[in-house]
A and B are shown apart, each in its own frame.
Chain A
Amino acid sequence: MTDVAIDARALTRTFGTFTAVDRITFAVRTGEVFGFLGANGAGKTTAIRMLTGLLQPSGGTATVAGHDVYKESEAIKRRIGYMSQRFSLYEDLSPRENIRLYGGIYDLSLKEIRQRADGMLSRLDMGSAADRAVRELPLGWRQKLALSVALLHRPAIVFLDEPTSGVDPVTRRQFWELIYETARAGTTVLVTTHYMDEAEYCDRISIMVDGRIGALGTPAELKQEFGVPSIDEVFVRLARPGQEPRKDPVPVKTGATTVSDGEAR
């Protein structure tokens, strides 16, 4: 295994005349927690779909876990895990049944599935909830379970798409501890979030703006580069150039709209 988990070079995707992802180049190191940030419509989802083998790029190159995104998308799918805010688990199935289903999808033996399920359910302290429908679990626990299930087949890289949205503040922090544990165990983590404090938990972050990578570095480096005290303000500087971060309302002037064209995608 190489020490580069994701290596994207000039990766591009167009839809008709619209360039959703515009020659992005970045690398994610093995075992890194990499924050993949950007405004709504900046191109994050399109980029993630290419990196997870779900969408063919229009140009550029990328390897994920050493596999080429053009020719080896099936191999990529076996080597990655994916979890989103929604739809990661079947809500009518119990945690144990979900684990069995995903284990089967990833071709694990029945013995492996049973062993990993038992370990996972006891680590998560599921108790009798292991055999009740997932729908009955508190949201935070569903999310922790979803992360564990995404890691069931021991992927090299796990993609987490807004995993903590709407979760209570304590569970949100516990979830991040799970992310740290995951990375410590050697799995690379690529995570998107709208909580700017969570950006600070990442080893490095990239911020996409209008299909391009507008900034890339450790949180500390980016704050220094932009001369601001928080990632929130780095984000504002990038997404709305020319507009100072502010707390107080300022009147919206007639004709001088503050909305950039990219906003409405």
Chain B
Amino acid sequence: MSSSVTADNVVKAFGANTALDRVSFEVRAGELFGFIGPDGGGKTTLFRILVTLMTPDSGRATVLGLDVVRDMWAIRQRVGYMPGRFSLYPDLSVEENLRFFAAVFDTTVEASYAQIAPIYEQLAPFKDRRAAALSGGMKQKLALCCALVHRPEMLLLDEPTTGVDAVSRREFWDLLARLREGGLTIVVSTPYMDEADRCDRVALIQRGRLLAVDAPAAVARAFDRPLIGIRSSRRYDALLTLRRFPHVRSVFPFGEVLHYTDQRADVPASLLVDELREFLRKDGIDAAEVVRIEPTVEDAFIARMGEPESPATAPLRGTRPTNAVGQDPQRGPADEETGAR
């Protein structure tokens, strides 16, 4: 099938900060495609370009075959967009918000009911409640509903689950999966790496660059050396000890397990396991478990992202022309957008 989104060397800078640095990718029709990465990576800037709220400095992007600069009015009719900040009218009720957004697009809630039904049914018990009085999870469901009310061919959802509790997040992804089954193309962004598995394909994004674009399992698999998991009741001590292992490349806590990689890419995992166990034991730590484990998308992200920015070594905002993404370009020129769609 055709592409729903194409981006070819898209560049966007705010002053000296390059928010998007030659970004290229393609989203296929019918896909649930996720941009995964921390704040300040460029996710919001990219979404704003795709929904025609901002133009790229250079490069080209299309949405549903339409050019994001030349065809902006046509694109706006055909996509649904949910901005990263809560963008509904807090003083209007759930139902009033929905009717308002339907009216803006010259349609009605009734005409669109089939499309919004799965979500609206969850909102119905609160339809008279002011949007401001909804919980985080319910606000996001209402925003999704409003983004769908003009029956768009494609959804662009910018961090719909940020700050939402783990259970509401699951429910939100369940809704997206249902919408995708109905044939809708969905592009979504998230800082939660564990949500990558809910997407058909993901792009890992950091500091304005795409680190990888592939199916989540393939992203995780492309790990060039064994990953060792260490489980110990003295986790912090084990962590400090492993940091001193002569060949350590990285060791990080992942929940209750420490994830370890070695500088020597070719050392057999079984040998490595023995070495680590022995090293821990010499330090008085009898690890309950040292085993080879399968990398997650988050491991893959860490392996690809390199060193995190540090104030001492990273370019600060406005001091260098490239790579100085700083934290949030979205907080810059586009800030006036708060509260409006």
What is the interface of chain A, defined by CB distance below 8 A to chain B?
Answer: 38-42, 124-129, 132, 135-142, 162, 165-171, 173-174, 176-177, 180, 184, 194-201, 219-220, 230-232, 235-236, 239-240, 246-252, 254-255, 257-259, 261, 263-265
Contact = CB atoms under 8 A, between A and B. Distances in A.
B118 A167 contact: no
Interface string B27-68: 000000000011110000000000000000000000000000
Contact of A169 (B174, B302, B318): B302
By Cβ-Cβ distance, the 10 closest A-B pairs, closest first, are A129-B311, A127-B312, A166-B39, A200-B255, A168-B38, A249-B177, A40-B136, A197-B255, A138-B309, A41-B135
A136 B252 contact: no
Interface in B205-225: 206
Contacts, number: 171
Contacts of B167: 39, 235-236, 239-240
A254 B119 CA distance: 11
Interface in B154-180: 162-171, 174-175, 177-178
B133 interface: yes
Given A127-B312, A240-B167, A139 B135 contact: no
Given A127-B312, A258-B171, A170 B166 contact: no
A232 B255 CA distance: 11
Contact of A138 (B136, B168, B311): B311
B308 A176 contact: no
B245 interface: no
B135 A40 contact: yes
Contacts of B194: 196-197
A252 B164 CA distance: 20
B311 A126 contact: yes
B76 interface: no
Size bracket, chain B contacts: 35 or more
A125 B174 contact: no
Contacts of B193: 169
Interface stretch (B120-128, B262-270, B277-285): B120-128
A189 B14 CA distance: 38
Interface of B: 37-40, 118, 121-122, 124-126, 129, 133-138, 162-171, 174-175, 177-178, 181, 191-194, 197-198, 206, 236, 239, 252-256, 298, 301-302, 305, 307-314, 316-318, 326-328
B170 A136 contact: no
B138 A249 contact: no
29 contacts: A41-B135, A125-B311, A128-B312, A136-B316, A136-B318, A138-B326, A141-B309, A166-B191, A168-B38, A170-B302, A170-B307, A171-B308, A173-B253, A177-B253, A200-B255, A201-B255, A239-B165, A240-B167, A246-B174, A249-B177, A249-B178, A254-B121, A257-B124, A259-B125, A261-B125, A264-B129, A264-B135, A264-B138, A265-B135
Contact of B137 (A40, A132, A232, A249): A40
A255 B120 CA distance: 11
B135 A137 contact: no
Contacts of A252: 118, 121-122, 175, 178
Contact of A129 (B39, B162, B316): B316
Contacts of B308: 138, 140, 168, 170-171, 174
A264 B133 contact: yes
Contact of B310 (A41, A135, A138, A255): A138
A235 B166 contact: yes
A139 B124 contact: no
Nearest to B177: A249
Contacts of A248: 177
Given A39-B167, A194-B164, A263-B138, A257 B39 contact: no
Given A41-B135, A169-B301, A249-B178, A139 B164 contact: no
Contacts of B121: 252, 254-255, 257
A259 B135 CA distance: 11
